[in-house]
Structure formats: C-alpha cells, structure tokens
C-alpha cells in the first residue's frame, strides 16, 4: 500500500480533529484581523476626517496585498512546505496589524494594511491545501467546511472586540489585540505535521514514511514497514501555464469567476456593513450590535453546508447557497425596518458563509499535488481583485440617491451570475480522492 493510500485509510480520530482545531484557530485569527478593519474604519473615518475614496483605499489596499500574498504563498508552499508558509504568514499579518495601531497618518496605515494583506491572503489557500491532503475523501468536504466555520468565529471575535473595546478604549487598542495571534506560531510548529503528498513530491520519502508510521501508531492501525510510493503528480515543476492546460483550463476559468464574484460580494457587503448601517441613520453602537447578530447567523450556515456538501455534493450545495444569498441580498436592500434588516441580513450571512465553506472544499479538489497550493493561491488572488474593486464601487454608489438599494441590487446580480457559472462549468468531486480528481 502506497503512502498516500495509507494516510487515506486512517480512521477519523484524534489526529484529524487536532489538525482541524489547530489550523482552524489560525484561520480564526486570520478572520479576526480581516474583520477588525470594518469596525475600526467606522470610528477612524470620523477621527481622521477620511473622504469616501480614502476609506475605500483603507480597505482595498489590504486586498492588493492579499492578492499578491495568495499567489506567492501558493507557489512557496508547493516549494518550501505547507506548514512553514502557514506559520510565516500568520506572524506576518499579526505583527503588521499591531503596527497599524502606531500609524501616524493614512499613508503609514496603508503601508501596514498592505503587509497585513500579504499575510492574510497567503495563509488561507495554504491552510485548506494542508488539511485537504490529510482528510479521507469520504469526509473531506465536511472537514473543510468545518475549517471554514472558524472564519465565522473570527469575525465574531472581531465584532466582540470592537463592541467592547473601541467605544471605551479606542481603535488603537483593537489593532494591538489583532497582533496577539503572532504568539500562536509556536503551537502551529509543535502540532501541525507537513503534508505527505508534498514530502513525496519533493523526494523526501523516508521522512514521509516515518510520519505515516507515527500516525498509524497513534490511530491504532497496522504499522506497515515497507515503503511503497506512487507518483502524486506528473511533474515537480510549477508554472502558470499548467493552470491553463488540459484538463485544468475549464476548472481554472470556473474557479477564477467564482472567486472574483464571491469575494467581491462578501467583502463589498460585510466590510462595509457597519458603515452602511450608520449611513442609514443608525448609531455606531447600534450598527455594531446588528452586525454582531448577523455574524452569529454565519455559524448555523456552516453547519448546514457541512452536512449538505456530503449529501448533495459540492456543485449543487455551492450553487444553491449562492443563489439563496442573492435572493437575501435583494430583499436586504429593500428593507426599511430593523426587523426586516435583521431577518434578511441574517439569511444573507447564513447563505454567504455556508457558500464560502463549500468553495474552500471545492477549490483544492481541482488540481494535482504539485500545483494544488499554487492553483488555489491563484484562484484566491483573482478573488482578491474583487475585494479591491468592491470597496471603491460601494463608496461611489453610496453617495448617490437611493444608494443603499442600488448597492444590494448590484450584489444580487453578481451572486446570480456566480451561481450560473457553477451550474454551467462545475464538475462534481464528492467522494473522490484528491489524486484521482487532479488528473
């Protein structure tokens, strides 16, 4: 039995759940640092008298860094290892977030936010690739959605920090709290093993074999002494042209369109939600409270997606969640009472974040080992382009008459287009091993 098959046959147990929560907490810290700026900006914009364009760039510059970080970290992870790059990116964005507290003006804030983006964008595709390569095919989708659910917890932590800290202690302290995850790097280095397919692909066979034997002992299955290796990819080289060669071109096109649309809508909606609600006449504290409740609605969205992704499959679950998110966004834009804002806002949050969980499952399943992190990184990077554009578009639309309504009409159209792309170009990958999918 070859090394990858031996990993896949391991019964789901303590090792897999430990990997999930250790990587998941890193994911949570990523989300916390991402979410903090949406709450901080509401207060900072008043103190610094920021124009709409300046507020837009305070958000968009982070996505410029995230796009670059996603591409670079994906390539580095395929070359230097998933775990090492995961650890480095966490330290990068944590320290840069803390430095934002000391920014004397907008220029320095933009510099630090760019560096934050490098780390944030670099961590996510690497994390999901690493977890995907350890989880058995029959439960991989569920585990990746559960991993993505830590994103909801991260935004919840950001909302709680903002609600209790910013009104009393100011936004500088909130940024300092965002720097604390740097200390978590020691837990990652201690608890997270390197990817077996990566080790094989780099010729480190003995190291991979020793690690698999260790896992077999921990899981209580037969420890196999003989080393058998099957190639995990046709090439060890990584190149952009591989993403657009057969059979990957259709998959790459699909992923790029999905990622651009879903990042554009998610960050356009949720990054600006506190500010949008304030502009509608609600106080800063009220807007924080409303957004906090909407964020809580993300968690059952993940649970529903985790169940459906193994029942209905990736394609139909993803398309369905995005379609219902589009419907919710339309009615949210029409809402004119607190009750309707909360109802449609919670549904929008439920479906949007459930879709994210499925997308992170679906993305690494499109490529073989040697370009898996690279391909996932490029898809994420194209998505970040949507994150760059969305804040700038929203700020311009909001100054227009009836801007709130028009903003959410636009997001409805984008989300419906994404659902159509999935239905037309998507292939089902439920229950298949990563190596059989990738070729």
CATH code of the domain covering residue 316 = 1.20.1250.20
Enter the pTM of the model: 0.76
Task: Give dist(CA 251, CA 314) in Å, integer.
Answer: 14
Task: Give dist(CA 365, CA 169) in Å, integer.
Answer: 45
Residue 103 has a pLDDT of 94
> Is residue 126 assigned to a domain?
yes
Q: In sequence order, which residues have a C-beta less than 8 Å from that of residue 244 and are 6 or more positions away?
A: 252
Closest CA to 141 of 428, 340, 369: 428
Residue 36 has a pLDDT of 87
Asked if 175 and 101 count as a contact pair (C-beta separation under 8 A), the reply is yes
Residue 373 has a pLDDT of 77
Asked if 165 and 284 count as a contact pair (C-beta separation under 8 A), the reply is no
Assigned token pair, 57: 């760039």
Asked if 209 and 36 count as a contact pair (C-beta separation under 8 A), the reply is no
Task: Give dist(CA 269, CA 315) in Å, integer.
Answer: 24
Task: Give dist(CA 354, CA 359) in Å, integer.
Answer: 9
> Is residue 94 assigned to a domain?
yes
User: How far is residue 295 CA from its own chain's centroid?
Assistant: 15
Residue 56 has a pLDDT of 79
Closest CA to 229 of 40, 413, 45, 1: 1
Assigned token pair, 70: 């996603």
Q: What string of H, E and C letters represents the secondary structure of the chain?
A: CCHHHHHHHCCCCHHHHHHHHHHHHHHHHHHHHHHHHHHHHHHHHHHCCCCHHHHHHHHHHHHHHHHHHHHHHHHHHHHHCHHHHHHHHHHHHHHHHHHHCCCCCHHHHHHHHHHHHHHHHHHHHHHHHHHHCCCCHHHHHHHHHHHHHHHHHHHHHHHHHHHHHHHHHCHHHHHHHCCHHHHHHHHHHHHCCCCHHHHHHCCCHHHHHHHHHHHHHHHCCCCCCCCCCCCCCCCCCCCHHHHCCCCCHHHHHHHHHHHHHHHHHHHHHHCCHHHHHHHCCCCHHHHHHHHHHHHHCHHHHHHHHHHHHHHCCHHHHHHHHHHHHHHHHHHHHHCCCHHHHHHHHHHHHHHHHHHHHHHHHHCHHHCCHHHHHHHHHHHHHHHHHHHHHHHHHHHHHHCCCCHHHHHHHHHHHHHHHHHHHHHHHCCCCCCCCHHHHHC
> Is residue 35 assigned to a domain?
yes
Bin 402: left if φ > 0, else alpha if -120 < ψ < 50, else beta: left
Asked if 372 and 437 count as a contact pair (C-beta separation under 8 A), the reply is no
> Is residue 438 assigned to a domain?
no
Residue 22 has a pLDDT of 94
Which residue range is the domain that position 260 belongs to?
A: 3-227+238-430
Task: Give dist(CA 223, CA 316) in Å, integer.
Answer: 39
Q: Is the dihedral of CA 169, 173, 174, 175 positive or negative?
A: positive
Residue 437 has a pLDDT of 55
Query: What's the total number of domains in the chain?
Result: 1
> Is residue 439 assigned to a domain?
no
> Is residue 98 assigned to a domain?
yes
Task: Give dist(CA 291, CA 138) in Å, integer.
Answer: 35
Residue 276 has a pLDDT of 66
Asked if 290 and 345 count as a contact pair (C-beta separation under 8 A), the reply is yes
Assigned token pair, 433: 């091993």
> Is residue 232 assigned to a domain?
no
439 residues of the chain, pLDDT tens digit each: 788 888 888 888 899 999 999 999 998 998 898 888 878 887 888 889 888 788 878 888 988 898 888 888 877 887 888 899 999 999 999 999 999 999 999 999 999 999 999 998 888 888 888 888 898 878 888 888 888 889 888 988 988 888 888 888 989 999 999 999 999 999 999 999 998 888 888 888 899 899 989 988 988 888 888 888 776 544 456 678 888 988 889 999 999 999 999 999 987 887 767 666 776 676 666 777 777 888 888 889 988 998 898 888 899 999 999 999 999 999 988 888 888 888 998 999 999 989 988 998 888 888 887 788 788 888 988 888 887 888 778 877 877 777 778 888 999 999 999 999 999 998 888 777 665 555 5
């Amino acid at each position: 039995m070859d090394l990858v098959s031996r990993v896949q046959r391991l019964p789901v147990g303590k090792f897999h759940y430990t990997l999930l929560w250790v990587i998941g907490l890193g994911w949570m810290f990523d989300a916390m640092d991402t979410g903090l700026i949406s709450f901080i900006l509401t207060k900072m914009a008043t103190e610094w008298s920021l124009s709409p364009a300046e507020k837009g760039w305070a958000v968009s510059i982070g996505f410029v860094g995230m796009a670059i970080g996603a591409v670079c970290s994906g390539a580095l992870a395929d070359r230097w290892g998933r775990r090492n790059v995961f650890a480095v990116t966490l330290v990068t964005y944590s320290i840069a977030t803390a430095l934002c507290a000391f920014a004397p003006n907008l220029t320095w804030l933009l510099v630090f936010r760019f560096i934050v983006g490098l780390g944030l964008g670099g961590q996510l595709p690497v994390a999901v690739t690493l977890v995907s390569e350890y989880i058995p095919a029959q439960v991989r989708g569920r585990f990746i959605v559960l991993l993505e659910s830590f994103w909801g917890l991260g935004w919840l932590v950001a909302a709680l920090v903002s609600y209790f800290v910013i009104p009393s202690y100011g936004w500088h302290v909130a940024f300092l709290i965002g720097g604390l995850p740097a200390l978590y790097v020691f837990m990652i280095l201690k608890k997270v093993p390197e990817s077996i397919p990566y080790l094989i692909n780099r010729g480190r066979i003995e190291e991979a074999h020793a690690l698999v034997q260790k896992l077999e002992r921990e899981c209580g299955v037969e420890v196999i002494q003989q080393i058998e290796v099957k190639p995990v990819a046709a090439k060890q080289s990584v190149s952009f042209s591989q993403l657009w060669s057969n059979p990957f071109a259709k998959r790459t096109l699909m992923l790029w369109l999905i990622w651009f649309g879903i990042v554009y809508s998610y960050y356009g909606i949720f990054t600006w939600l506190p500010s949008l609600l304030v502009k509608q006449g609600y106080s800063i504290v009220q807007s924080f409270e409303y957004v906090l409740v909407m964020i809580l609605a993300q968690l059952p969205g993940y649970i529903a997606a985790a169940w459906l992704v193994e029942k209905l499959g990736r394609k139909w679950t993803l398309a369905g969640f995005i379609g219902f998110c589009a419907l919710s966004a339309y009615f949210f834009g029409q809402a004119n009472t607190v009750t309707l804002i909360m109802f449609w806002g919670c549904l929008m949050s439920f479906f949007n974040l459930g879709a994210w969980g499925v997308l992170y499952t679906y993305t690494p399943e499109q490529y073989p080992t040697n370009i898996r992190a690279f391909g996932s990184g490029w898809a994420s990077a194209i998505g970040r382009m949507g994150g760059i554009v969305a804040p700038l578009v929203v700020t311009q639309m909001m100054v227009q008459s009836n801007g709130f309504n028009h903003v959410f009409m636009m997001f409805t159209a984008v989300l419906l287009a994404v659902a159509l792309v999935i239905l037309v170009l998507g292939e089902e990958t439920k229950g298949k091993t990563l190596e059989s999918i990738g070729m």
